[in-house]
C-alpha cells in the first residue's frame, strides 16, 4: 500500500494483502461451490477449507479439529469468551469468574461485560505488562469449587504498544487454580510464536487480515478438552461449533498469508532493529516518549508521542505528507478515543491524548520508517515546548 508518495505504516490496523493470499482467495472464488454440498464443486470447496484448516492448525500447534473458522478476530474473541463462560456456567453450580487484563481489546472486554459474570481486572504495570504478581497471588489461594472456575483472558500482544504478555505463566497459574486461559493472539500471530502447547492456552483467537490475509476471516482454536459452548446456530458447520457457510475465499487467503508470514518469523529481528532505529530518531525530539519500550514487544510496532502535540494533529500532519499511522486504538470507525492501554499503564492523561501508533510488516521499506521519523520530527519541532506555551 506504500508507493513513491505514500507510506502505509498501520499494519496493526490491517496489513496489506499478500500476493499469495490474493491468489489463493481468487482461486477459491473462481472455484465456487458450497463446502457443505456433496457434489463435485462442493467437495472441491470442502477440500480447500480443510487444507486451509490443516495449514492454520499446523502453524499454531493445534490439531485440525481444534480450529473453528469465524468472521474475524472480533467474532473469535467473542466466541472464545462467551463460549468458555457459557460452557463452564452450564456445568457447575457456581458461575465462573472472569479475570481479564486491563489491557484487553474491546473484542474481549465487551464480551466479558456481556457475559454477565463477575469480572476481576488484572492490573497493568507502567511497563505495559500485566501485574502478574497480582494474578498469581489471587489465583494461588483460589478455591474454584467455592468461588467459581477462573477464566483468565489475557492477550498475547497488545494492539497499541505491542507489549508481549506472560501468557504461559498466567496459563500455569490458571490451570493450578482449576481454571482455563483464553488468549487473544490477533496482533501476535505471525509476529511472534503463537503455539497452543507452548503458550499452555485453552483458547486462542486469531484474525486473517493482521497477517496479510483478507479482512473478515479469523479462527478460534479451542483445545480438545477445553469447555466450549457454541453461540451461533443453524446448519451445524464447523462441527456444530459455529454454524454458517464458511468464507471459503477468506479462509484460503488466510491460510496462504499465515504460511507466508510464519516463514518470515526468523527475519523479524531486522524489523525490530528498524523500529528501534526509528525510535532512536524520534527521541532526538527531546520531549518524545516511547511507550512500552522497556518490555518485550512485537517487532513492528511503536507507540509514541509528545505532550502538547495532540494525537489527531499528529495523525493529520503525517497523513498530509502521505504517511499513514493510527491514533490510539483506532480499530473502530475512524474514532480517535483516549487510549485504554496507556490509561491502564498509568500514563498521565495529558500525554495519553498525544500518543500515536506506527506499525510495520511484510512490505515495509526503509523509506516507510524514514518517512515517519522525518515528517514527525519536522511537525513536532514546530510545536512549542510546554514551558514556552505557558509563558
Ligand atoms: N484483538 C486485538 C488485539 C486486535 O488488535 C483486534 C483488531 O485490531 C481484534 C481483536 C479484532 O480483530 P478483527 O479486526 O479481525 O475483528
Confidence of residue 363 (pLDDT cuts 50, 70, 90): very high
**What are the cell numbers at 106?**
474491546
Atom of ligand 1 nearest to the CA of 210: 15
Cα of 213 from ligand 1 centre, angstroms: 13
Give which of 350, 353, 369, 342 is closest to 314, Cα–Cα: 353
Residues labelled catalytic: 331
Q: What is the pLDDT of residues 335-348, one digit of tens each?
A: 556 789 999 999 99
pLDDT at 333: 45
Contact 258, 55 (CB under 8 A): yes
Q: Global pTM?
A: 0.96
Q: What is the pLDDT of residues 117-140, one digit of tens each?
A: 999 999 999 999 999 999 999 999
Kindly tell me if the per-residue pLDDT of 329 is higher than 70.
no
Give which of 197, 201, 148, 143 is closest to 171, Cα–Cα: 201
Percent of the chain at pLDDT above 70? 95
How does DSSP classify residue 356?
E
How far separated are the first and last CA of the chain, in Å rounded? 43
Within 13 Å, how many C-alpha atoms sit on residue 253's CB side? 30
- Which protein residues are within 6 Å of ligand 1, measured from CB? 72-74, 77, 105, 107, 155, 159, 184, 186-187, 207, 209, 218, 331
The helix/strand/coil state of 349 is: helix
Confidence of residue 75 (pLDDT cuts 50, 70, 90): very high
pLDDT at 4: 72
pLDDT at 383: 80
Confidence of residue 384 (pLDDT cuts 50, 70, 90): low
**What are the cell numbers at 77?**
474473541
Cα of 126 from ligand 1 centre, angstroms: 23
Contact 35, 46 (CB under 8 A): yes
φ and ψ at residue 240, rounded to 5 degrees:
85, -5
Mean pLDDT of 27-43: 97
Atom of ligand 1 nearest to the CA of 157: 3
Contact 218, 238 (CB under 8 A): no
Confidence of residue 389 (pLDDT cuts 50, 70, 90): very low
Confidence of residue 109 (pLDDT cuts 50, 70, 90): very high
Q: What is the pLDDT of residues 256-305, one digit of tens each?
A: 999 999 999 998 999 999 999 999 999 998 889 999 999 999 999 999 99
Confidence of residue 233 (pLDDT cuts 50, 70, 90): very high
Phi-psi region of 356 (alpha: psi -120 to 50; beta: other; left: phi over 0): beta
C-alpha–C-alpha distance, residues 107 and 293, integer Å: 25
**What are the cell numbers at 128?**
505495559
Cα of 74 from ligand 1 centre, angstroms: 6
Amino acid at each position: 500500500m506504500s508507493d513513491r508518495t505514500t507510506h502505509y505504516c498501520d499494519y496493526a490496523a490491517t496489513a496489506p494483502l499478500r500476493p499469495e493470499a490474493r491468489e489463493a482467495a481468487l482461486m477459491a472464488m473462481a472455484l465456487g461451490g458450497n463446502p457443505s454440498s456433496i457434489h463435485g464443486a462442493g467437495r472441491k470447496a470442502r477440500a480447500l477449507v480443510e487444507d486451509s484448516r490443516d495449514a492454520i492448525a499446523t502453524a499454531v500447534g493445534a490439531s485440525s479439529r481444534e480450529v473453528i473458522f469465524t468472521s474475524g478476530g472480533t467474532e473469535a474473541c467473542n466466541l472464545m469468551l462467551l463460549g468458555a463462560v457459557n460452557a463452564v456456567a452450564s456445568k457447575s453450580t457456581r458461575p465462573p469468574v472472569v479475570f481479564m487484563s486491563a489491557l484487553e481489546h474491546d473484542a474481549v472486554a465487551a464480551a466479558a461485560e456481556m457475559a454477565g459474570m463477575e469480572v476481576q481486572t488484572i492490573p497493568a504495570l507502567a511497563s505495559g505488562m500485566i501485574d502478574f504478581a497480582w494474578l498469581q497471588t489471587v489465583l494461588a489461594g483460589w478455591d474454584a469449587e467455592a468461588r467459581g472456575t477462573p477464566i483468565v483472558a489475557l492477550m498475547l500482544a497488545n494492539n497499541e504498544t505491542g507489549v508481549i504478555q506472560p501468557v504461559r505463566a498466567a496459563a500455569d497459574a490458571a490451570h493450578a487454580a482449576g481454571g482455563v486461559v483464553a488468549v487473544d493472539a490477533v496482533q501476535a500471530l505471525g509476529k511472534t510464536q503463537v503455539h497452543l502447547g507452548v503458550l499452555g492456552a485453552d483458547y486462542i483467537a486469531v484474525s486473517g487480515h493482521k497477517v496479510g490475509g483478507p479482512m473478515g476471516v479469523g479462527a478460534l482454536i479451542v483445545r480438545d478438552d477445553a469447555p466450549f459452548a457454541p453461540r451461533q446456530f443453524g446448519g451445524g458447520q464447523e462441527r456444530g461449533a459455529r454454524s454458517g457457510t464458511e468464507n471459503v475465499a477468506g479462509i484460503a487467503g488466510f491460510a496462504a498469508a499465515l504460511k507466508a508470514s510464519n516463514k518470515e518469523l526468523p527475519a523479524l529481528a531486522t524489523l525490530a532493529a528498524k523500529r528501534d532505529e526509528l525510535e532512536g530518531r524520534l527521541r532526538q525530539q527531546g520531549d518524545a516518549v516511547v511507550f512500552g519500550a522497556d518490555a518485550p514487544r512485537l517487532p513492528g510496532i511503536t507507540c509514541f508521542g509528545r505532550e502538547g502535540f495532540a494525537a489527531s494533529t499528529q495523525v493529520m500532519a503525517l497523513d498530509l505528507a502521505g504517511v499513514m499511522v493510527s491514533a490510539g486504538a483506532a480499530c473502530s470507525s475512524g474514532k480517535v478515543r483516549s487510549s485504554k492501554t496507556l490509561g491502564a499503564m498509568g500514563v498521565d492523561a495529558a500525554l495519553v491524548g498525544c500518543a500515536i501508533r506506527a506499525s510495520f510488516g511484510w512490505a515495509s521499506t526503509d523509506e516507510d520508517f524514514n518517512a515517519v521519523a522525518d515528517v514527525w520530527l519536522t511537525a513536532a519541532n514546530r510545536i512549542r515546548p510546554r514551558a514556552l506555551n505557558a509563558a
